[in-house]
Each structure stands twice: as C-alpha cells, then as structure tokens.
C-alpha cells in the first residue's frame, strides 16, 4: 500500500523532533531507526496512526538505550548498544 505525502512529511518531522530531543545520539542513526520502524508498517491497512506509532516506538528505543543500528535489512531490529 502506498504511503501518502502527508505521512512522509510526518515521518520527517518525527526524525527532526527526535534529533532535537536527543542531541547526544547520531542524527543518522536516529533517522535510520525511524525509517526501519516505519518500514514495519508498510502493509498496514489503516495509515492514520502510523506516524504516531513510529514516533512512540523510536522514542522508547532512543530514550532507554543508546542506539546502534546495524545491517541493511529495513525490517531488522535495532540493537541496544549497552545492554
């Protein structure tokens, strides 16, 4: 299912908010994390809440642990660098 432009804008805004909120984290890693979480919702039928769910999931990962995103698979799970 195709995502609309508004959803893409909201995901970009989510990335910007998280980068501002977590300045000690790598902006590139935050962006990659958000995009990978977003990719998990690619087949979601209802799109209205996807940006909100993506932001919530990313905020939990970044807020709890320093992030280290590895691999090329967009569906791979980010790893926690300090567990």
What is the reported pLDDT for 4?
A: 76
Neighbours of 39 (CB within 10 A): 13
Radius of gyration over alpha carbons of the chain, in Å? Answer: 12
What is the reported pLDDT for 50?
A: 97
Give 13's pLDDT tier (boundaries 50, 70, 90).
very high
**79 three-state secondary structure:** strand
Q: Tell me whether residue 36 is exposed, middle or buried, using C-beta atoms within 10 angstroms of its C-beta: 0 to 12, 13 to 18, 19 or more.
A: buried
Say what percent of the chain tops pLDDT 90: 66
Q: Are 39 and 74 in contact (CB under 8 A)?
A: yes
- pLDDT digit string (tens) for 24-82? 999 999 999 999 999 999 999 999 999 999 999 999 998 876 656 555 555 555 554 43
Sign of the C-alpha dihedral computed for residues 46, 68, 31 and 71 taken in this order: negative
Q: Which residue has the tokens 């935050």?
A: 30
């Amino acid at each position: 299912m195709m995502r609309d432009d508004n959803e893409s804008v909201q995901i970009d805004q989510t990335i910007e908010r998280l980068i501002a909120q977590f300045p000690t984290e790598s902006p590139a890693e935050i962006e990659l994390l958000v995009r990978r979480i977003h990719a998990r919702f690619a087949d979601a039928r209802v799109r209205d809440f996807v940006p909100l769910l993506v932001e919530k999931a990313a905020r939990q990962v970044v807020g709890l642990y320093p992030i280290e995103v590895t691999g090329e698979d967009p569906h791979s799970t980010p790893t926690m660098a300090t567990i």
